[in-house]
Amino acid sequence: MILNEHEVAATLTQLTENGITFAVRSTGHNPIPKVSSVDQSGVLIDLQDIKSLSLQDDGTVQIGGGTKWGDIYTFLEDQGRSIIGARNLGVGVGGYTLGGGMTAFPNIHGLPADNVINYQVVLGNSKIVDANSKTNSDLWKTLKGGGTNFGIVTRFDIQTYPLIKTKYAVNVYDPADYVNILKATVQVQESMEMDPKIGLFVSVSAQAASVGLLYADTPAEIPKAFDPFLQLDSLLMEAVPWTDGTIKSLVNSIQYDQPSARRTQAAATTKVDLDLYIKAHELYVEANKTAVSDIFYTIQPLSRSAVQQGEEKGGNIMGIPEAPQNWWVGASSWQDASLDEKAFAEVDDLRMKVEEAAESRGLMFEFEFMNDASPIQTVLDSYGPENVKLMREVSAKYDEGKVFQTLQNGGYLLRNIK
């Protein structure tokens, strides 16, 4: 059991002195092999008991590296504050935030990583340092989306905001009406460019298209921006009726219990385009015909405002284009371990076909979202050559012994860039 940053530092010293492979886990939500796991020859540094929460006078909250977002939301909302965080109460702050994070309302204050004011980091030499805009600012920037390449973050100091009230609903549509569903998706994304309070997700399986209609305010009337969905004739059910609440109540409403299963995922980023969306869905339907796993995909919109917010907060390392975009994620689940190789390949094959369709239309962005990427994706490369150069410089400066490149078991590491 590791309880604080000093115990992390002491553990890391023992591991480096003996050349022992290790992995770091906050809550282990990411399904990708080796990201937060290691076999019996190595050691797992489990941060789940570092759960401190402290709201500061300046409006920042200090969060222990093993804390779950459900506890964070509860703690802050009890004090009339909100935070830009995960869409699942059981996800931990650690790997989620280091990967950049996607949130219900990315357009109002940027991504979760953009809102980190300070990181408390255990470096490869076991020294404990702070990284913020004034101290170790290069490390601060690279930790905003750079993953576990530079140290073990034991505390995140994150900006909070006055309580954000929300209006939301989740509608379930017949996926056979995909053309109209995707047309409505594009229309809402267009409205999103003019109103950053709009949030949206569209998650499509063979059986249903679940659409989250989210708004970061509680107007008396349902925002007109959602009319394209409300006017569809293919509604199957209102999974979550229109509700006025908070970010925590929203997240609690949209998350669902996932049965134990083997899982994988893959990520792609494209421009907003109806023809591309339709083609991507048709590729998905074709892939599902022979799939050994249960595949679904989700549309996660991001507006210019989200990227601009990140720049205004000091910038991050991800190289996200300042344009309307969609962060696609394809995911699947299955039970039989003998199907692993084929199941992993199915999702990546679908991703590559969607990327080819986007590329042929001039609609492809290079950026890959770390939190949703597959094991074979080269996420750090997608950040662009200047950001890769900075990450390598920061790694050399703060991890002279290359501890996190040589002893860390896996993940999206600089050592994998050719």
Whether pLDDT at 168 is above 80: yes
* d(C-alpha 35, C-alpha 33), whole Å: 6
Cα(302)–Cα(103) distance, integer angstroms: 10
Q: What's the predicted TM-score (pTM) here? A: 0.96
What mean pLDDT do residues 125-142 have?
Answer: 99
Q: Is the pLDDT of residue 256 over 90?
A: no
Q: Which pLDDT band, with edges at 50, 70 and 90, does 36 fall under?
A: confident
Q: What is the pLDDT of residues 186-239, one digit of tens each?
A: 999 999 999 999 999 999 999 999 999 999 999 999 999 999 999 999 999 999
Is 198 strand, coil or helix?
strand
Q: What is the reported pLDDT for 39?
A: 86
Encode pLDDT of 336-382 as tens digits.
999 999 999 999 999 999 999 999 999 999 999 999 999 999 999 99
Q: CB neighbours of 58 closer than 8 A, spacing ≥ 6?
A: none
For the chain, counts of helices (H) and of strands (E): 13, 17
Rounded CA separation 169/235 (Å): 13
The stretch 138-157 carries a mean pLDDT of 98
Q: What is the mean pLDDT of the chain?
A: 97
The three-state secondary structure class of 344 is helix
Q: Per-residue confidence at 33, pLDDT binned at 50, 70, 90? A: confident
Residue 258: which pLDDT band, with cuts at 50, 70 and 90?
A: confident
Token pair 């679908």 is found at: 350
Would you state the pLDDT for residue 61?
A: 99
| pLDDT over threshold 80, residue 29 | no
Task: Please tell me which residue, 418 or 126, carries the higher pLDDT value.
Answer: 126
Q: What is the pLDDT of residue 35?
A: 75
Q: Are 270 and 325 in contact (CB under 8 A)?
A: yes
Mean pLDDT value of segment 143-150: 98
Segment 137-152 mean pLDDT: 98
Query: What structural domains does the chain harbor?
Result: 5-162 (3.30.465.10), 165-372 (3.40.462.20)
Per the model's pLDDT, the better-predicted residue between 338 and 27 turns out to be 338
Query: What is each CA distance from 232 to 69, 180, 279, 380, in whole angstroms?
Result: 34, 7, 20, 40
| pLDDT score recorded for residue 395 | 99
Please report, for residues 14, 146, 322, 325, 338, the alpha-carbon distance to residue 265 in angstroms, rounded to integers and kept in the order given.
34, 19, 25, 19, 18
Nearest to 31, CA basis, from 289, 334, 281, 300: 334
The two beta strands, 60-64 and 53-55, are: antiparallel
The model's confidence at residue 72, banded by pLDDT at 50, 70 and 90, is: very high
pLDDT in the model for residue 48 = 95
Share of the chain above pLDDT 70, in %: 100
Residue 330: strand pairing partners: 266, 297
Model confidence at 30, pLDDT cuts 50, 70, 90, reads confident
